Structure 1
Amino acid sequence: MIRTFQEAVKFLERYIPPADKKHPGVLGLERMRELTGRLGNPQLKYRTIHVGGTSGKGSTATMIASILGTKYKTGLYTSPHLVRINERFTVIEPLNSVQREISDGVFTRLINKIKPHVEAMGETDLGSPSYFEIVSALAFLHFYKEKAEAAVIEVGLGGLYDASNVVQPEIAVITNVGLDHTEILGETLEEIAADKAGIIKKGMKVISGTDISSVKAIFKNKSDQNNVPLFLAGLNFRTDIKRVSISGSRFDFHNFQYYRNLHLGMLGRHQVANAALAVKACEEFGGIGVKEIKSGLKTVKFAGRLEIIRKKPLIVLDGAHNPDKIKALVDAVREIWPGKKATTVLAIKKDKNAAGMIRLLSLITEKFILTNYRVIMDQGEISSYDPAELARFMQKHVSFEVNHNAFSALESAHKSAGNSDLILVTGSLYLVGIIRKKFIS
């Protein structure tokens, strides 16, 4: 019997997979089906929207839940967490539309509910479920116990063999496809698209924001095989952006319905593309009108995504961790704070395209403070490049310094920037989580 929240987290960490079993493919999905089956398949007890894609899937999932939560009791499962694991499991009540994280007590009770099944499976040929498989099952069980009417489930990685792919959703959203996690999902956009298309099943509707012809063809083929409709941004629905500012974005949405002057609270032009997918998904889900859409988009918040954590000096946290996401960040900074140059606190996970990310960030950075991190997550110990390694990618005209402590790096950025300038913390959600913890505690 696990008695405390801390013990529950320690129990989970026992199931972090070894390096050679981090991505078990079909075996992991079979384990997940076994685990959820033992729990009574809670993921089948409420209506579901499944959200995948390379970039923007967490933001899109959060927007969908924010809109649905104005009308339906809605569960939202996202990953990774920034500060506490509780962040991954939230429920939105229609009465107040406030996202409520799972409590420590409920989390511990659900771990105790799942624990005997995890241990029993360890004695079978399937083996014990992994950390991520256990927390995914916990999310499904939590939403069932909460009597959720709807749940929005973010894919962890890829799609086909992801632990979340035991859901039977009414709608699958695939935001876009880019070159990330290539060592797992494939070296080409088409290989990655095929994996992400693995969430497309019979009896659903599919929505995507991709603008790449070869990727569209893969999604169309998979949709046709399953005899399900595919709705594409730019073809079946579109947006006209009216204004992008520090207060968010205003845009019109064109579909069979025409919504004028929608206000999105999240910052950045790129988030409007995610909002369009969210609006379309909620329309197809049903029971949602312009009142719910306007309310959900205006109030939505997602930590660590162009998040202003302090105004003086201006400190912005953004977990962009691949070149596509960094480009969106750079474009957003230029549009929202034109002419401003940032002091950028930067750490990058070892398997990422550091050179490409730094090249883009140099367009808006006066000085880099290069730092590092080491955290324990679903996949075990995750560490960044050593700052000295990042220094090799610096262009000659760019000023930088090396600081091996993330908090000290932020203090150094503060001294360099002064009160009127922009401090940007980016390169990794894990770095953002470390810095964010300092401000919320």
Structure 2
Amino acid sequence: MNFPEILKYLYFTRPYNTMKLGLFRIEGLLSRMGNPHSGVKYFHITGSNGKGSVTTFLEYLTYHHGYSVTGFYSPHLSTVLERFHYNTENISESEFVEAAMEVKQFAEEMDKFGEEFSPSFFEYMTAMYFYITKMKKVEYGSVEVGLGGRFDSTNILLPEVSVICTISLEHTNVLGNTVEEIAFEKAGIIKEGRPVVVGAMPQSALEVIKQIAKERNAKIYEFGKDFNVEPVSYSFNENVYNYFGESTVKNIKVKLNGTHQLYNIGLALKAFELTNKLNEDNVRSAFENAFIPGRFEMVNGIILDGSHNPQAAEKFAENLELYFPGKKRAAVFGIVDDKDKDSVLKVIAPKFDTIIVTRPPSKRATKIEETYEIAKRYCNNVLLEPDFIEAINILKNTDCDVRFATGSFYLVGYVRNYLVNGEISEELRIGGA
């Protein structure tokens, strides 16, 4: 199979976004593969927000301190290759195909036992990641949890350090209806005798994590108590922080934008510091280079970022005022129908002089007229253009100081792909949304 063929197999045989909780499938799959996850030092990261940034920072810190490292991320934005990093770069299409074909034979053995034993898309991806990690013979892995922690397929690994970034109400249909229940699920990544680093969170959630850490003899390190970060200055793509932990590192320049990165920086540095002594030059190099596509990122004159829920919208609005105060702003905006459109637009729409409402390329986004009517409540100049490519072209010709594409990550991923390539890639056309 070539890359397009294996993608079709994965997307349509292992339905994307189909969730299966529990560890028995991944245990069976990895056992058949010879347990490729063993023998590597892992950082394991979960949290309601920030886990992708912390996983990225740890990957870059590890690489810039001279170690070989793989990274595992989800979901992807514009290409499935973003899920698998080797020494901070996406793997190649040929490496993806090799890993997918290796897992395929064992996954199909399990399929024969029935639907309950058939590995899901994410379990398949997890097995591919561990195969890649083994083939690359790396020293470290930086692994982002897919959902929750306790029953996530990544929880098969034994970490050097576990990280729990934040706890808030999310995925309540799966993880629980209170922050305490969600904290219990995420604390499932804490392993016997392995340290855990935790971020700022509600006290009741922290108490749950502390209790589980105590039961598992896992020493806990708390942001603001055992380590800290202070901001020095904020400027778009060049934010400066000081870190205070076992070591002190000052004037760390960080490309990733947003005041919330302060917490993620601290969590990553503390987790890494528990395994290695920090080298100031290597720390600075890591954070200057650390990058996540589509996170307040400028691509061809348009800033891309997600604002798909009220929490993300608040951060996005904060960043608008932080980096572009007093500027005339315009945006393409699209969101799927099952999100809280009113709460999101109430926060961000007043920040724009012009909003072009469009349809994210998703089956879950059909009510764009509804989105348009809501946007008009909060912004004086709102246009409706269903085709997102045409919406981007209108944005490019809009009279303003700074331009954005925001809302659903489906939209951001497609827009980024279009801006980089000048067309929508075959991969995105295969996967759809």
**TM-score for both structures, normalised by structure 2:** 0.92
Letter aligned with residue 360 of structure 1: V
Q: Find runs of 4+ consecutive structure 1 residues off by over 6 angstroms.
A: none
Q: Give the structure 2 partner of residue 6 of structure 1.
A: 4
Deviation per residue, 1:338-380 (Å, 9 max, x gap): 11242221222333222221111124222222222235xxxxx
Alpha-carbon distance, 1:74 to partner: 0.7
Whether the aligned pair in 2 keeps the contact of 1:249 and 1:272 (CA below 8 Å) is no
Q: Give the structure 2 partner of residue 402 of structure 1.
A: 384
Alpha-carbon distance, 1:130 to partner: 0.9
Q: Give the structure 2 partner of residue 379 of structure 1.
A: none
Alpha-carbon distance, 1:121 to partner: 0.2
Q: Tell me the distance in 1 between the aligned counterparts of 2:282 and 2:212.
A: 32
Q: Tell me the distance in 1 between the aligned counterparts of 2:374 and 2:168.
A: 22
Q: Give the structure 2 partner of residue 95 of structure 1.
A: none
Q: Give the structure 2 partner of residue 25 of structure 1.
A: 21
Whether the aligned pair in 2 keeps the contact of 1:62 and 1:300 (CA below 8 Å) is yes
Whether the aligned pair in 2 keeps the contact of 1:250 and 1:262 (CA below 8 Å) is yes
Alpha-carbon distance, 1:397 to partner: 4.7
Alpha-carbon distance, 1:217 to partner: 0.8
Aligned partner of 1:143 among 107, 129, 133:
133
The 1:63/1:230 distance shift into structure 2, 3 A limit, reads same
Whether the aligned pair in 1 keeps the contact of 2:16 and 2:121 (CA below 8 Å) is no
Letter aligned with residue 143 of structure 2: I
Aligned partner of 2:367 among 386, 392, 402:
386
Correspondence 1:322 to 2:309: yes
Aligned partner of 2:241 among 236, 251, 254:
251
In the alignment, structure 2 segments of 5+ residues that lack a partner are 422-433
Q: Tell me the distance in 2 between the aligned counterparts of 1:156 and 1:422.
A: 34
Whether the aligned pair in 1 keeps the contact of 2:200 and 2:263 (CA below 8 Å) is no
Q: Give the structure 2 partner of residue 372 of structure 1.
A: 359
Q: Give the structure 2 partner of residue 226 of structure 1.
A: 216
Q: 123-132 or 387-396: which moved more?
A: 387-396
SS of the counterpart of 1:50?
strand
SS of the counterpart of 2:397?
helix
Whether the aligned pair in 1 keeps the contact of 2:345 and 2:378 (CA below 8 Å) is no
Q: Give the structure 1 partner of residue 72 of structure 2.
A: 77
Structure 1 residues 97-246: aligned runs within 5 Å = 99-125=88-114, 126-246=116-236
Q: Give the structure 2 partner of residue 433 of structure 1.
A: 413
SS of the counterpart of 2:240?
strand
Q: Give the structure 1 partner of residue 431 of structure 2.
A: none
Letter aligned with residue 427 of structure 1: G
The 1:351/1:45 distance shift into structure 2, 3 A limit, reads farther
SS of the counterpart of 1:44?
coil
Q: Tell me the distance in 1 between the aligned counterparts of 2:282 and 2:233.
A: 21
SS of the counterpart of 1:298?
helix
The 1:358/1:179 distance shift into structure 2, 3 A limit, reads farther
RMSD: 1.8
Q: Give the structure 1 partner of residue 337 of structure 2.
A: 350
Deviation per residue, 1:97-122 (Å, 9 max, x gap): xx322111121122221111111101
Alpha-carbon distance, 1:187 to partner: 2.5
Whether the aligned pair in 2 keeps the contact of 1:330 and 1:363 (CA below 8 Å) is no
Q: 343-352 or 292-301: which moved more?
A: 343-352
Q: Tell me the distance in 2 between the aligned counterparts of 1:219 and 1:352.
A: 29
Letter aligned with residue 13 of structure 1: Y
Letter aligned with residue 401 of structure 1: L
**TM-score for both structures, normalised by structure 1:** 0.90
SS of the counterpart of 2:142?
strand
The 1:244/1:223 distance shift into structure 2, 3 A limit, reads same
The 1:408/1:180 distance shift into structure 2, 3 A limit, reads farther
SS of the counterpart of 1:42?
coil
Q: Tell me the distance in 1 between the aligned counterparts of 2:337 and 2:121.
A: 21
Alpha-carbon distance, 1:392 to partner: 4.3
Q: 165-174 or 405-414: which moved more?
A: 405-414
Deviation per residue, 1:292-347 (Å, 9 max, x gap): 21110111111101101123xxx100123222222112111211111124222122
Q: Tell me the distance in 2 between the aligned counterparts of 1:248 and 1:224.
A: 39
Alpha-carbon distance, 1:282 to partner: 1.0
Alpha-carbon distance, 1:203 to partner: 2.7
Identity of aligned residues (%): 29
Q: Give the structure 2 partner of residue 413 of structure 1.
A: 395
Letter aligned with residue 73 of structure 2: T
Letter aligned with residue 77 of structure 2: L
Correspondence 1:47 to 2:47: no
Q: Tell me the distance in 2 between the aligned counterparts of 1:222 and 1:341.
A: 50
Whether the aligned pair in 1 keeps the contact of 2:71 and 2:143 (CA below 8 Å) is yes
Aligned partner of 1:56 among 50, 55, 75:
50
